[in-house]
Amino acid sequence: MTPTRRRLTFICLGFLSLLVASALALTAFEDTLVFFYSPSDIKEKSINTDKQIRIGGLVKSGSLRKSEDGILVRFEVTDLKHSIPAVYRGPLPDLFRENQGVVAEGHLSKGIFRAKTILAKHDENYMPKEVADSLKKAGKWKGENKN
């Protein structure tokens, strides 16, 4: 084997084992690498809900209630399978609306999620308003937001 050949094999094998090692490590740490849990995760997996956690999903259609001064909001976080009621007091990001993605940080007590922070999550679709409107009109809307 020539020195060049040997270096090539060494680097390829080294990189391959590094890939396998990282894949294993990332799979092992999967539960700590997720940024938020879905309502189904909360209901189905045994997640420690005593400490502060993040839950994410869509703001359920028709679930959004605001107090008269607009400071207290109640809504449900849903992944279209399960949903969790949430309450929050404070300012909301611009994109916070029904059928829009949301990530809430706080803690779960007696089945109600008391959020301390609300982050809005948006999807990967970008288009002008007219296109969105005509897609909805034509019934070809594929996105998750049907508002």
The site for another protein (CB under 8 A) is made up of 4, 7-8, 11, 14-15, 18-19, 22, 26, 30, 33-38, 56, 92-96, 100, 103, 117-133, 145
Residue whose token pair is 């982050």: 119
CB 100, min distance to another protein, A: 8
Q: Please tell me the distance from the alpha carbon of residue 116 to that of residue 29, in angstroms, as a whole number.
A: 26
Of residues 46 and 126, the one with the C-beta less far from another protein: 126
CB 37, min distance to another protein, A: 7
Closest CA to 53 of 6, 117, 100: 117
* DSSP-derived 3-state class of residue 95: coil
Of residues 15 and 85, the one with the C-beta less far from another protein: 15
Q: Please tell me the distance from the alpha carbon of residue 75 to that of residue 13, in angstroms, as a whole number.
A: 52
